[in-house]
Structure 1
Amino acid sequence: MPDDPRDSVTLPDGTSLEGAVSRLRDGDRAMLARCITLVESRRPDHRRVAAALLQAILPYTGEAWRVGITGVPGVGKSTTIDQLGVNLTAGGHRVAVLAVDPSSQRTGGSILGDKTRMARLAVDPSAFIRPSPASGTLGGVAARTRETMLVCEAAGFDVVIVETVGTGQSETAVSEMVDVFVVLALPGAGDELQGIKKGVLEIADIIAVNKADGDNADRARRAAAECRAALHILTPQSRHWSPPVLAVSGRDNVGLDDLWEKIAAHRDAMKSSHEFDERRADQQVRWMWAMLEERLLGLLRADPEISARIDEIEAQVHAGTLAPTAAVEEIAPKFGA
């Protein structure tokens, strides 16, 4: 039989692919960081090695709980995830937290910032925190997050929490890479939920009204009741699951055990109806197309002649002197389309 072509693949630091996978499986934190840096890289030679790595670790992935959590800024995502994560590690789980923040391409992101916001998980030997890459489109960030998720699963993390900043299209991107999507909400002025969008409600599997503590506890419970009533006018994503609404407090660790029970109940319902496997299979196909689109755009921009003309065309579209449709008709043939 011919040799496996992966036998000759080495990581940028010279580690063999087999050695890297072995160290990753053994929980080597340094190798985990190197593998994630590799899958986040945009260099063509790194991308080829990353593809081989992801194929090699594929048998060790897929068993983790993939949980997406979103909410508007100020809702208390970090506090809630920090406490939930501590609860889970105390129960024997290993927890990875991945952040999807499309704004990081402007701010640059901050590993220190992410770890400061989740102070207890940051020092928990059974936990791992990783921010989103600091550049690229949301689609690119989401693709890297999917790959990072697989690396974390291969490293033995059995709960992967994907946090989104809760703005723009990041919620949809995260909901399409996880098994269960949790929306954190705040009770706002009066009895209305603050900042929650109808579109987010439509993709939520579980809604948790946060900060149900102190003087705010009653208002949070009323807001949860109103949200339950509002959900009746929306069509659930699955006929096998109606999104529950809980009142929780990440600060005081109130309702988080109930939240995890609902996450487990959702997983059971999806598995018993076979929607779990179907959802994951669909996610794999969407991931393939997202990566292909990103790769084609990268090739387009990598061509010096085409790239220079694209900058001119983009400026004309921005100035309103060229219609977007006409711009596409000029660019596409240059790429053979």
Structure 2
Amino acid sequence: MAQPIDLAATAKGILSGDRRALARAITLVESARADHRAQALTLLGTLAASGRQALRIGLSGTPGVGKSTFIEAFGLMLTAQGLKVAVLAVDPSSARSGGSILGDKTRMERLSRDPNAFIRPSPSQTQLGGVARRSREAVALCEAAGFDVVLIETVGVGQSETVVAQISDLFLLLLAPAGGDELQGVKRGIMEMADLIFVNKADGDLKPAAMRTVADYSGALQLLRRRPQDPAGFPKALPVSALAEEGLEQAWAEMQTLAEWRKTHSHWTRTRATQSRHWFEEEVRQGLLAALRHEPQRGLMAGYADRVATGEITPEAAAAEMLRAMGRG
């Protein structure tokens, strides 16, 4: 039987920057066991009193665009400046087995050895939105541990990935050089949520194509209505090369400019308050769905599901009847 976790010692370790304590705490919040969940909530409540905040950066992009390479080069640049960087990399889980490769430490070998960096891969557990359900809590743990920047790398699954904006202060979209047709393939939802678009692989023979892609996206961004949380000129598209480590300084400068403007104009605080409200509602929603898996709701659900499957009743009518039976109709 596993030894119970000493929450006081774990909290003390996290606040002092102990990586092992942080890793154990993230494992705790990711656990689905009821006793672990209760311990996780106590731990998170204790650490919230520290009031520490980091710059939360969400990074999205299609597979193969070079997210891991970008994160490693960008992370190494930040640690060279004396900043502490945490990377929460969400790997896609198998819908069949539930397993996940979790290979981000092998893809970021240099950054994983940096004493000022912490890399934690987590399975998405088939969660929509490209982030694991407990990613927000893992971010809070990293903030309590004293990290200056927390990078959340998503699985790159498509338009549903816009939910990463509910966990980050800045949302970055990483794209590869492409022709004009590629512009039409990018989901409008992600385009509207992105704070900065970086066209990666802007080096060598691909540099001209990358610059054309930057121009295409810059033009497209001008057509979008300016958001109240953006200063003039944002969102914007920029060329970067993670492999050649070019454009990273300018990318970081733009991130800092945007973050500072939002803090000065109170958007930072309002956005975080809105995010907290969103995750409260999400926890309630998930809790209600979990309650449906227990009796008597489980039997009620099964009965209506059988009637829907045989065509006796429509899905909409069955849902309405079940909600009325539960006193919520």
Output the TM-score relative to the length of structure 1.
Answer: 0.88
The CA deviation at 1:314 is 4.1
Q: Distance in 1 between matches of 2:84 and 2:309?
A: 48
Give 3-state SS (helix, strand or coil) of 1:132's partner. strand
Does the C-alpha gap of structure 1 residues 96 and 307 become closer, same or farther in structure 2, counting only changes over 3 Å?
same
The CA deviation at 1:67 is 0.3
Q: Distance in 1 between matches of 2:61 and 2:184?
A: 10
Q: Which residue is 2:288 aligned to?
A: 296
Give 3-state SS (helix, strand or coil) of 1:131's partner. strand
The CA deviation at 1:277 is 0.6
The answer (yes or no) to whether the contact 2:180–2:213 under 8 Å persists in 1 is no
The answer to whether 1:154 aligns with 2:144 is yes
Does the C-alpha gap of structure 1 residues 48 and 333 become closer, same or farther in structure 2, counting only changes over 3 Å?
farther
The answer to whether 1:219 aligns with 2:209 is yes
The CA deviation at 1:116 is 1.4
The answer (yes or no) to whether the contact 1:202–1:237 under 8 Å persists in 2 is no
Q: Which residue is 1:331 aligned to?
A: 322
Between the two proteins, what is the percent identity of the paired residues? 45
The CA deviation at 1:215 is 0.4
Q: Which residue is 1:8 aligned to?
A: none
Q: Which residue is 1:6 aligned to?
A: none
Report how many aligned residue pairs link the two structures: 324
The CA deviation at 1:239 is 5.5
The answer (yes or no) to whether the contact 2:79–2:85 under 8 Å persists in 1 is yes
Does the C-alpha gap of structure 1 residues 316 and 186 become closer, same or farther in structure 2, counting only changes over 3 Å?
farther
The answer to whether 1:274 aligns with 2:266 is yes
Instruction: State the Cα deviation string for residues 67-92 of structure 1 (Å, max 9, x = none).
Output: 01101111111110111011111111
The answer to whether 1:234 aligns with 2:240 is no
Q: Which amino acid aligns with 2:211?
A: R
The CA deviation at 1:319 is 6.8
Q: Distance in 2 between matches of 1:115 and 1:232?
A: 38
Q: Distance in 1 between matches of 2:229 and 2:145?
A: 35
List runs of 5+ in structure 1 lacking aligned partners: 1-11
Does the C-alpha gap of structure 1 residues 313 and 188 become closer, same or farther in structure 2, counting only changes over 3 Å?
farther
Q: Which residue is 1:118 aligned to?
A: 108
The answer (yes or no) to whether the contact 1:61–1:150 under 8 Å persists in 2 is no
Does the C-alpha gap of structure 1 residues 157 and 165 become closer, same or farther in structure 2, counting only changes over 3 Å?
same
The answer to whether 1:210 aligns with 2:203 is no
Q: Distance in 2 between matches of 1:134 and 1:181?
A: 19
Cα root mean square deviation, aligned: 2.4
Q: Which amino acid aligns with 1:243?
A: P
The answer (yes or no) to whether the contact 1:146–1:177 under 8 Å persists in 2 is yes
The CA deviation at 1:306 is 2.6
Q: Distance in 1 between matches of 2:245 and 2:179?
A: 24
The answer to whether 1:97 aligns with 2:87 is yes
Q: Distance in 2 between matches of 1:168 and 1:327?
A: 31
Does the C-alpha gap of structure 1 residues 62 and 292 become closer, same or farther in structure 2, counting only changes over 3 Å?
farther
The answer to whether 1:70 aligns with 2:55 is no
The answer (yes or no) to whether the contact 2:90–2:154 under 8 Å persists in 1 is yes
The answer to whether 1:25 aligns with 2:15 is yes
Out of 82, 87, 100, the position equivalent to 1:109 is 100
The answer (yes or no) to whether the contact 1:143–1:287 under 8 Å persists in 2 is no
Q: Distance in 2 between matches of 1:263 and 1:320?
A: 54
Does the C-alpha gap of structure 1 residues 239 and 63 become closer, same or farther in structure 2, counting only changes over 3 Å?
closer
List runs of 5+ in structure 2 lacking aligned partners: none
Instruction: State the Cα deviation string for residues 197-217 of structure 1 (Å, max 9, x = none).
Output: 222111110011111010001
The answer (yes or no) to whether the contact 2:91–2:101 under 8 Å persists in 1 is no
The answer to whether 1:286 aligns with 2:286 is no
